[in-house]
Amino acid sequence: PHIIIARTDHPVSHEVVEKIALFCDVDQEAVVPLETTDLLYAVPIILEDLGIGDYIVEHLKLEPRTPDLASWRSMVTRMRSAREAEPVRIGIVGKYVELHDAYMSVKEAAFHAASAANRRLEIEWIHSGDLEKGKQWEVMETLDGMIVPGGFGYRGVEGKIMAARFARERKIPYLGICLGMQTMCIEFARNVLGLEDANSSEFNESTPNAIIDLMLEQRSITDMGGTMRLGLYPCDIKEGSVAARVYDVAQVRERHRHRFEFNNDFRAAFEENGMVFSGLSPDGQLVEIAELSDHPYMIGSQFHPEFRSRPNNPHPLFQGLIDAAIAFRESRQQKNKTTQSSGELVE
């Protein structure tokens, strides 16, 4: 190796650095002890401060230059200070919550947005299957907002549909991603349009009301391996929508991984009852974003916005969720204070 980064939980003495350099036949300057830090995003700054950038430049015989890390340092400072700020409690309602790393990108995207808003992110992990069994509803009552992320297979889907109904009826800010958007639409069809047997053909091939169905180009495919709608695609944003407000651009490009889409046979009925399809493919055929017109922030995306979030540039849909969750929390606190004051006056 040319450089050795030595991960450690404790300080490393100069003698140990010398020994590593000797036995690995590298310069002492090329041995960089990297102690465990309180924040992952601080690692680039730590490495730069330890001189690894200068060593690489010298080794590759490049022109010396000083990186501008001012904005990154500011971001790290903001993230650390947010730990002492007011919390915002977000529920992640998923099928794989036993292993939090399954939703690492979603969790980090929410963290990016919460830190940018100077709020301490509190995550509540909620198994959608538990909701089906009547469990964890007391936790749902405490949420300021919720995320229903993607997934495959029928297990836990009814719980996600129940979560979408809870968010819609309680006006709790909601972000549905991929399957989370689809379950949001199924819930709307069942409980607003009155289509009690509405479903996705992924879960019930014989449903007469397949709100979510295979894309046309997918229906003739028998070997499903590697045949998804995969990668970066453009999406046109509807003017005047919540999506337009948070994105502040007319077209975005987002990353996809799916083969089921909203069934356009139901588009008119949805729109007549308050659903806004605020993001469409450029040809107008594929629903990319759906949102409720009479809800402060209930929005679903067929794509995966978490993959385009950055620590110093939170994704607009996540930032919109966090901002709405903060407003929801503050409104609830104000109502509680008013109720408490009224009770004291009565006494």
Q: Which long-range contacts (CB under 8 A, 24 or more apart) does 54-58 make?
A: 55/3, 55/27, 55/29, 55/30, 56/3
Count the neighbouring beta carbons within 10 Å of the beta carbon of residue 69: 15
Please tell me whether residues 63 and 180 are part of one structural domain: no
Same domain, 148 and 229: yes
44 and 170, same domain (yes or no): no
Residue 343's pLDDT is 65
What would the mean pLDDT of 54-61 be, rounded to a whole number?
94
Catalytic site includes residue 59? no
Residues 34 and 107 in one domain: no
Whether 205 is catalytic is no
Domain that holds residue 223: 87-332
pLDDT at 228: 79
Residue 80 lies inside a defined structural domain of this protein? no
Q: What is the pTM of this model?
A: 0.92
Pair (237, 130) in one structural domain: yes
| Percent of the chain at pLDDT exceeding 90 | 90
Mean pLDDT of 26-39: 96
Choose, from 112, 258, 304, 315, the residue flagged as catalytic: 304
Beta bridge partners of 94: 127
User: What does the pLDDT look like over 256-296, one tens digit per residue?
Assistant: 999 899 999 999 999 999 999 999 999 999 999 999 999 99
Last residue of a domain, one of 24, 39, 67: 67
C-alpha 72/C-alpha 343 separation (Å) is 49
- Higher-confidence residue: 226 or 119? 119
Catalytic residue among 112, 254, 306, 315: 306
- Name the band, by pLDDT with cuts 50, 70 and 90, for residue 215: confident
Confidence of residue 221 (pLDDT cuts 50, 70, 90): very low
- Do 184 and 300 contact (CB within 8 A), yes or no? yes
The confidence band for 227, taking pLDDT boundaries of 50, 70 and 90, is: low
What pLDDT score does 278 carry? Answer: 99
Ramachandran class of 101: left when φ > 0, alpha when ψ lies in -120 to 50, beta otherwise = alpha
pLDDT digits (tens, 9 = 90+) for 140-177: 999 999 999 999 889 999 999 999 999 999 999 999 99
pLDDT average, residue stretch 240-258: 98
Query: How many distinct structural domains can be found in the chain?
Result: 2
For residue 33, is it within any domain?
Answer: yes
Q: Sorting pLDDT into bands at 50, 70 and 90, what band is 225? A: very low
Is residue 217 scored above 80 in pLDDT? no
Residue 79 belongs to some domain of the structure: no
Give 314-345 pLDDT, tens digit per residue.
999 999 999 999 999 999 999 988 877 766 65
Q: What is the mean pLDDT of the chain?
A: 94
Q: Is residue 337 a part of any domain in this protein?
A: no
Q: Do 103 and 171 share a domain, yes or no?
A: yes
Boundary (domain end) residue, out of 39, 67, 95 = 67
CATH of the domain at 299: 3.40.50.880
Q: How far, in Å, are 175, 276, 282, 309 from residue 253 at the CA level? A: 18, 19, 11, 12
- 44 pLDDT band, cuts 50/70/90, is very high
Same domain, 24 and 113: no
Which residue type does 111 have?
F
**Among 13, 36, 67, residue at a domain's last position:** 67
**Statement to judge: residues 51 and 146 lie in one domain:** no
- Residue 223's pLDDT is what? 46
What is the predicted pLDDT for the residue at 338? 84
List, as own/partner pairs, every contact residues 205-211 make where C-beta atoms lie below 8 angstroms and the sequence separation is at least 24, other chains included. Answer: 209/266, 210/263, 211/182, 211/185, 211/186, 211/262, 211/263, 211/266
Task: Specify if 346 maps to a domain.
Answer: no
346 pLDDT above the threshold of 60:
no
**Residues 63 and 156 placed together within one structural domain of the fold:** no
Looking at the structure, do residues 105 and 23 belong to the same domain, yes or no? no
Q: For residue 338, tell me if it sits in a domain.
A: no
Of the residues 127, 178, 187, 261, only one is catalytic, namely: 178
Please check whether residue 137 lies inside any domain of the structure.
Answer: yes
Distances (CA, A) of 154 to 34, 185, 186, 281: 44, 16, 13, 27
185 in active site = no
CA 166 – CA 156 distance, rounded (Å):
16
In this structure, the answer to whether residues 177 and 323 fall within a common structural domain is: yes
Same domain, 40 and 153: no
* Assigned domain for 127 exists: yes
